[in-house]
């Protein structure tokens, strides 16, 4: 039987593992959607380590929530949410990052991370690669719907998905 998944607040000592999870997740998810030179860049892990260090210690990210999922003491997923950079629909929170290693898909790690950083019923928005049917289905299962907005970021087409809290509907 697989060990249970635990989710907790990220710590600075998690940064190397968080960077490796993000890079490996991008390689698993975006191969064919984004250039190999980006995914295989030898400096990619180092750049992600700098990003996560800033996300955890820099004052400008203080309002964000950053969490990791672990199984058997190893980080298998990362998530970060916070105030949206630009106001829009479902503008309580923006999910900036949610990645779980492919080997841990179906373990509940993604849902636990999502709940840890945005809760179960708060309004939120996110951008998700398109096509990315697995991620889009996951977000739909968790109350998000596409709002029709599309952007291209680093050559990847993304759609915005939003979740409106019950409080905002009434």
Q: Which helix (H) or strand (E) holds 115?
A: helix 109-118
Query: What confidence score (pLDDT) does residue 155 get?
Result: 81
Chunked mean pLDDT (size 10), the chain, 170 residues = 88 98 95 90 96 96 96 96 79 92 95 95 92 95 94 89 70
The two tokens of residue 17 are 């593992």
Query: Is the distance from CB of 126 to CB of 95 less than 8 angstroms?
Result: yes
pTM tops 0.85, yes or no: yes
| CATH number for the domain that contains residue 90 | 3.40.630.30
Split into its structural domains, the chain has a count of: 1
Model pLDDT, residue 2: 72
- 3-class state of residue 96 by DSSP: strand
The tokens describing 122, both together, are 């708060």
State which residues form the domain around 62.
5-169
- For the record, the structure tokens of 140 come out as 């739909």
pLDDT of residue 13: 97
Token pair belonging to 150: 């599309």
């Amino acid at each position: 039987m697989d060990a249970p998944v635990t989710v907790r607040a990220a710590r600075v000592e998690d940064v190397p593992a968080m960077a490796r999870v993000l890079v490996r997740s991008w390689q698993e998810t975006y191969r064919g959607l984004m250039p190999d030179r980006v995914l295989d860049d030898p400096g990619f892990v180092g750049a992600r380590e700098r990003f996560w260090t800033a996300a955890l210690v820099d004052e400008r990210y203080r309002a964000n929530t950053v969490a990791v999922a672990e199984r058997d003491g190893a980080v298998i997923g990362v998530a970060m949410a916070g105030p949206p950079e630009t106001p829009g629909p479902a503008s309580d929170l923006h999910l900036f990052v949610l990645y779980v290693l492919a080997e841990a898909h179906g373990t509940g790690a993604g849902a636990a991370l999502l709940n840890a950083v945005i809760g179960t019923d708060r309004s939120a928005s996110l951008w998700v690669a398109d096509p990315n049917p697995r991620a889009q289905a996951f977000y739909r299962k968790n109350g998000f719907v596409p709002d029709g907005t599309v952007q291209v970021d680093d050559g990847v087409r993304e759609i915005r998905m939003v979740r409106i809290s019950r409080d905002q509907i009434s």
